[in-house]
A and B are shown apart, each in its own frame.
Chain A
Amino acid sequence: MQVKSMHFKATSSAKLNDAVLQTALKKAKAKFVDGRAAAVAEIDIWQDIRTHAAALRDGVIANLDAYLLEFEANATARGAVVHWAETAEEANAIIVDLAKKNAVKIVTKSKSMVSEEISLNDALEAVGVEVVETDLGEYILQLAKEPPSHIVAPAVHKSKEQVADLFEAAHHRPRTVDIPSMTREAREVLRSKFLNADMGISGANFVIAETGTTLTVTNEGNADLVTTVPRIHCVVTGIEKVIPTLEDFATLIRLLPRSATGQSAANYLTLTTGTKQPGDLDGPEQMHIVLIDAGRTKLVGSDMKEMLRCIRCGACMNHCPVYQNVGGHAYGWVYPGPMGAVLTPTYVGIEQAGDLPNAATFCGECQVVCPVKIPLPDLMRKWRERQFDRALRPFSERISIAVWSAFATRPALYAFSTRIVARVAAWMGGKNKRITSLPGLDGWTDGRDMPAPAGKTFRERYRARQVGQVGQVGRVGDMGAADEAGQRSKPTP
């Protein structure tokens, strides 16, 4: 997918003024956030399962080569062909070659974010193959010629009226905005594609080393038709998706649907192991698995290696106040929200995606809801540090941070200067205690007033309080984004 992350600021501004998008985002937020909370509340040991899942993902990543080789051996023993691709171009070349060799005319696809990374559809269409996206959301976007804006709900930004327009133009049937009727219409139109496709392409939520299995987690049933009907099944997936055992899958699937959509179970879990067996009436004759690096090995052993735990549930974006306001397209590449703020700079280069790690309030909610405990705010902070070290942020920002750092690392100087600033700012606030204009920071005060501080610094007030309440010192300031459900530490009142 073409990278547009460098336009984050301009795109975000436009998205904030897009009324259709804003309505869609508000609706999605309510569904995803409340749905997840209710689904998680049913699991009494949610935190234990998260901890186990994070450890099992770390265990694989620490021995990734061995687990990939074990997966390869077991998949090959069952008749699958395992391909390895270092880059998007290599992956596309492998799949285009497969299509050519087998005279493939129609490809049906189930949703795959990796295929979005590598722009697989473009590569296949360039050699005359008809590619049909079959996930309803992806199908809508294929008609609209747009990329997905969410990794689980790709067309979350579209209104039913917009979908109705697309369907009317493509299907030449009477326009309807009744959602069940539109869904049936897509089913009917896509049915003949499913049954006439030569090759089915799917992603993989995980691949299992123990059995050489690839698997998909879906609700619509499209992935099952894609992987069962055509004579060739091709899986495109990242090398980090390997897990050791079926038991590990059982653990991860307790977390994935609840985190993603608030479902207790996804409708279809399809574990595919090898090709059609003798006597089978359905199933593909050939199975190809393309394992893609495209930047992933850069994370192995790095100070951001936790990112490789990711199971692509989308909870981090659903709970991100930035995503909730600007939507996925603003992020300019495949992965929106906090996960994208870490992955996009890694995969496409920080030079092209410098605003993403900075588009965060560091509220910490992404880490709280992450089913595999990825410390997303820390990882975004690491990208910010690298940008500072490599002088990739604007001069004014770098000089401000350098000045701040000079004060913050000298406690006496810090205490003295903040005492002055607190008093000057309190005076500036006047009777209304609002600062309406800040010299040099009018970008902030143009749109809103800043509440004036009380006139004394936190440290002054804290010391005064301690003197008054000897022996009752509370924990102060630690709003650590550790866990939810009572485990989020709160300052003592």
Chain B
Amino acid sequence: MSARENILARIRANSAKRGATTQAEMDQARSHIATRTRGPAPSIARQAPLVRFEQESERLKSTIDVIASIEEVPLATARYLRDNGLPTSVVGWPALAQLDWSAAGIAFANRLANREDAVGVTDCFCAIGETGTLLLLSSPLTPKLHALLPETHICVVSQSRIVATMEDAFDRLRTERGVLPRSTFFVSGPSRTADIEQTIVIGAHGPYRVHVIIAP
């Protein structure tokens, strides 16, 4: 018998079940999965998603800028980079390449991020109010490394795509995409660690700064 069979057999023997897992038992597990029962949600999850998202983002040490149109993203990016004394060369996702970056004085590279890149610009699938979280989905046009390797991650969020809870985000994901991508990536603020003397340091292996630009 293989390890797989032995483990499954031990589970069943100790659960006082006979023989191999039956079709009826598999169907029962699948029908339980299909109910997708939500757990109880706290009051904080019922606050207005946009207000909550802004408040929680600040708590996570992300910064926020609200703009009037998507066309303003390059200027808002330039403003943030200038105010923080950061380089004006960025690497970004293809969907954002069509914006007029050069008019804002920014060199926008449309390619995969590497270790030399200081600033990565992405958008996101949606954002979650309850915890101030960004949800990024991997795909050929939305590689994950842009949000990981550079020291600064700038993320464009569409206001209409800020949902209340993670459950709402999963509903949207199932409706719009059907299946999970290879990487379903929830980002809540810049990377951090407290591994030396429990002292919180912002900036561990991921970005030091997460700047969120909220567009309509």
Taking beta carbons and an 8 Å cutoff, which residues of A are in contact with B?
A: 24, 27-28, 31, 42-46, 48-49, 52-53, 56, 59, 62-70, 84-86, 90, 134-137, 140, 153-156, 158-160, 163, 179-180, 182-184, 187, 190-191, 194-195, 209-211, 213, 219-222, 224-225, 227-229, 239, 244-251, 253-254, 261, 264-283, 291, 293, 297-298, 300-302
Contacts and interface: CB of A to CB of B under 8 A. Distances in A.
A279 B39 CA distance: 36
A104 to B, nearest CB: 21
Given A49-B40, A222-B204, A267-B188, A183 B196 contact: yes
- Where chain B touches its partner, the secondary structure class is loop
B10 A293 contact: yes
B10 to A, nearest CB: 4
Interface in B173-208: 179-199, 201, 203-207
25 contacts: A63-B25, A64-B11, A64-B15, A65-B25, A70-B33, A134-B205, A140-B196, A179-B197, A220-B204, A225-B205, A247-B170, A250-B165, A251-B40, A264-B56, A265-B132, A266-B188, A268-B185, A269-B188, A270-B183, A277-B182, A279-B140, A280-B139, A283-B138, A297-B11, A300-B11
Interface of B: 2-4, 6-8, 10-12, 14-17, 21, 25-26, 28-30, 32-33, 36-44, 56, 59-60, 112, 115, 131-133, 138-140, 143-145, 148-149, 165-167, 170, 179-199, 201, 203-207
Contacts of B204: 136, 183, 187, 219-222
A267 B10 contact: no
Contacts of A246: 36, 170
B143 A280 contact: yes
Contact of B198 (A59, A153, A253, A278): A153
Contacts of A268: 185-188, 191, 206
Given A27-B197, A70-B26, A282-B144, A251 B39 contact: yes
Contacts of A267: 60, 187-192, 206
A210 B196 contact: no
Contacts of A247: 36-39, 167, 170
A246 B207 CA distance: 27
B195 A210 contact: no
Contacts of A27: 197-198
Contacts of B205: 134, 187, 190, 194, 220-222, 225
B28 A66 contact: yes
Nearest to B149: A225
A90 to B, nearest CB: 6
B199 to A, nearest CB: 5
Contact of A239 (B7, B149, B193): B7
Given A272-B182, A276-B182, A301-B16, 15 more contacts: A43-B44, A65-B21, A66-B28, A84-B2, A84-B4, A187-B203, A219-B192, A246-B36, A264-B60, A265-B133, A267-B189, A270-B186, A273-B183, A297-B11, A302-B14
